[in-house]
């Protein structure tokens, strides 16, 4: 897994409850989704939506193992017949979704999970074939990101990814220290990691991202520096630094303790090391070499996302929808088993989701902008909503500024931007900006 290590469940606490409340990679959080009644048809959902610059996301919910920190929607050890049935269902879903879209144009794409390269080379080929044939996506012509793991980044799989247009590979290394990998219940060896990175570089993808985790039991400033330097040795175009979270229903959940100061110290060490190495900070987690970003027309604030797979979300301007969310292994397996048995007509409706009224759209824009290093463009906010962000969210913004976490930058265009210390507290700021309604829904969600 590579996208969100151990951080998919968010606390409803305030900025005073500690710096690590949860990773806000989307708003609202999936635990705020509820069954839609009545279930709208996808044609109704998409009929008035712009379709000229869409994001296509495919979710493969399989992994070779479940790491101790992971609470993503995934299952381990899926047999070959289940993978085949999943691809059959993905094809039925793609047909239903494509029928609901009028002349869609996909300008960026990603395949996540789980671990997409859990699929064999032949299964990956089938996945690409059905996606391009049915959805009409020219994946060789747009930025395409795929997640992998050291154990599944084999030469034959990587060859398929490269041939089908993959431009970015993200690999979850987490630590280059074997003992730390074991402590995170990720039984991999440094030798295996280095071999996988070598194959990725030999295949020649435009961008390599390496995920690292800080806060692992037994990790010290010295061992963290060792992993940072080992990652930098591969000159990756991107590096993500994730704090270790311990959440309900994960393998490390019984070992929770208060180590906020330790994690913050490691974060600052990692941030400063990457900045000194010439990386630019894009968000709390993401660091990128200047000039290495793949250009795309997609803008997450205004453009839609089409998700395929039982763990994928889809976004329109006023509806976010998906399938049921779960973390526990038994419930995840049951949801996948239900997904692969769905009839074609069942894919033609939205099942579980959240409708965004105007206030929630404004709040989403605020959160997703502030949590990026470039901050919120006040003119763009005004143009979109006909109001000032400072008027809509004055009290919340003033509290952040009073702590020294928010600044106003005037350089050609006025931006509200988190300070370096504000970025360090992104995992507290994001959840603190959630609306009362979303918090109430999240509080009513039962872990399963």
Closest residue by Cα to residue 72 from 137, 25, 13, 7: 7
Question: What is residue 51's predicted lDDT score, i.e. its pLDDT?
Answer: 92
Per-residue pLDDT reduced to its tens digit, 325-342: 776 777 888 889 999 999
For 54-68, 162-176, 181-195, 353-367, which range has the lowest pLDDT when averaged over its residues?
54-68
Question: What is residue 98's predicted lDDT score, i.e. its pLDDT?
Answer: 98
- Examine the pLDDT at 110 and tell me if it is beyond 60: yes
Q: Pick 63 or 159 by higher pLDDT.
A: 159
Paired residues of 58 in beta bridges: 111, 308
Residue 38 to residues 96, 278, 346, 352, Cα–Cα distance (Å): 18, 52, 13, 10
Closest residue by Cα to residue 375 from 337, 404, 410: 410
> Of 2.170.190.11, 3.40.225.10, 3.30.360.10, 1.10.10.920, which CATH number belongs to 1-29+357-448?
1.10.10.920
Cβ atoms 68, 123 nearer than 8 A: no
Question: What is residue 377's predicted lDDT score, i.e. its pLDDT?
Answer: 95
The superfamily (CATH) of domain 30-288 is Aldolase class I (3.20.20.70)
**How far is Cα 145 from Cα 171, in angstroms, rounded to an integer?**
11
Rama region for 176: left / alpha / beta (φ>0; ψ in -120 to 50; rest): alpha
Question: What is residue 299's predicted lDDT score, i.e. its pLDDT?
Answer: 74
How many helices, marked H, and strands, marked E, lie in the chain? 16, 18
Question: What is residue 253's predicted lDDT score, i.e. its pLDDT?
Answer: 41
Read off the pTM: 0.92
Cβ atoms 204, 232 nearer than 8 A: no
Cβ atoms 270, 231 nearer than 8 A: no
Burial of 262 (0-12, 13-18, 19+ CB in 10 A): middle
Percent above pLDDT 90 for the chain: 76
Cβ atoms 87, 125 nearer than 8 A: no
Question: What is residue 298's predicted lDDT score, i.e. its pLDDT?
Answer: 63
**How far is Cα 267 from Cα 275, in angstroms, rounded to an integer?**
12
Closest residue by Cα to residue 33 from 442, 360, 437: 442
Helix ranges, 290-357 (H): 329-340
Question: What is residue 418's predicted lDDT score, i.e. its pLDDT?
Answer: 98
pLDDT band, very low/low/confident/very high, at 295 (cuts 50, 70, 90) = low
pLDDT band, very low/low/confident/very high, at 66 (cuts 50, 70, 90) = low
Question: What is residue 17's predicted lDDT score, i.e. its pLDDT?
Answer: 83
**How far is Cα 312 from Cα 122, in angstroms, rounded to an integer?**
22
Cβ atoms 251, 8 nearer than 8 A: no
According to DSSP, residue 283 is labeled B
Question: What is residue 412's predicted lDDT score, i.e. its pLDDT?
Answer: 75
Instruction: Report domain extents, the chain.
Output: 1-29+357-448, 30-288
SS3 177: coil
Element (H, E) at 381: helix 378-385
Cβ atoms 312, 73 nearer than 8 A: no
Name the token pair of 364: 């989403």
Chain centroid to CA 126: 24
Closest residue by Cα to residue 128 from 161, 95, 102, 173: 161
Element (H, E) at 171: strand 168-174
Paired residues of 56 in beta bridges: 109, 306
């Amino acid at each position: 897994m590579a996208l969100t290590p151990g951080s998919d469940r968010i606390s409803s606490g305030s900025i005073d409850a500690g710096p690590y409340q949860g990773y806000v990679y989307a708003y609202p959080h999936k635990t705020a989704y509820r069954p839609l009644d009545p279930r709208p048809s996808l044609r109704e959902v998409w009929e008035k939506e712009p379709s000229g610059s869409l994001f296509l996301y495919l979710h493969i919910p399989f992994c070779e193992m479940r790491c101790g920190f992971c609470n993503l929607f995934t299952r381990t050890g899926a047999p070959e017949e289940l993978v085949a049935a999943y691809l059959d269902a993905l094809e039925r879903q793609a047909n239903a979704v494509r029928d609901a879209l009028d002349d869609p144009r996909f300008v960026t794409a990603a395949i996540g999970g789980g671990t997409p390269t859990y699929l064999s080379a032949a299964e990956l080929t089938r996945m690409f074939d059905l996606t391009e044939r049915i959805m009409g996506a020219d994946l060789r012509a747009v930025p395409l990101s795929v997640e992998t793991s050291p154990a599944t980044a084999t030469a034959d799989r990587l060859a398929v990814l490269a041939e089908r247009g993959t431009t970015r590979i993200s690999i979850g290394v987490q630590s280059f220290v074997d003992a730390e990998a074991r402590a995170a219940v990720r039984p991999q060896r440094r030798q295996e990691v280095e071999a996988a990175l070598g194959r990725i570089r030999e295949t020649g993808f435009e961008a390599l991202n390496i995920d690292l985790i800080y806060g692992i039991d037994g990790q010290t400033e010295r061992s963290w520096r060792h992993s940072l330097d080992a990652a930098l040795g591969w000159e990756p175009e991107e590096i993500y630094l994730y704090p270790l979270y311990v959440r309900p229903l994960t393998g490390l959940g019984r070992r929770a303790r208060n180590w906020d100061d330790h994690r913050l110290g490691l974060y600052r060490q990692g941030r400063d090391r990457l900045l000194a190495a010439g990386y630019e900070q894009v968000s709390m987690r993401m660091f990128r070499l200047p000039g290495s970003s793949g250009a795309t027309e997609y803008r997450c604030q205004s453009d839609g996302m089409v998700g395929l797979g039982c763990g994928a979300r889809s976004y329109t301007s006023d509806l976010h929808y998906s399938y049921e969310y779960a973390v526990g292994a038994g419930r995840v397996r049951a949801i996948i088993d239900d997904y692969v048995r769905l009839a074609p007509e069942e894919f033609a409706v939205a099942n579980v989701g959240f409708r965004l009224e105007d206030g929630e759209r404004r709040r989403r824009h605020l959160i997703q902008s502030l949590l990026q290093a470039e901050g919120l463009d006040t003119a763009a906010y005004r143009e979109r909503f006909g109001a000032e962000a400072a008027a809509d969210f004055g009290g919340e913004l003033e509290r952040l500024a009073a702590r020294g976490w928010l600044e106003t930058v005037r350089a050609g265009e006025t931006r509200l931007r988190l300070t370096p210390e504000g970025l360090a507290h992104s995992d507290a700021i994001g959840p603190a900006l959630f609306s009362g309604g979303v918090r109430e829904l999240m509080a009513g969600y039962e872990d399963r």
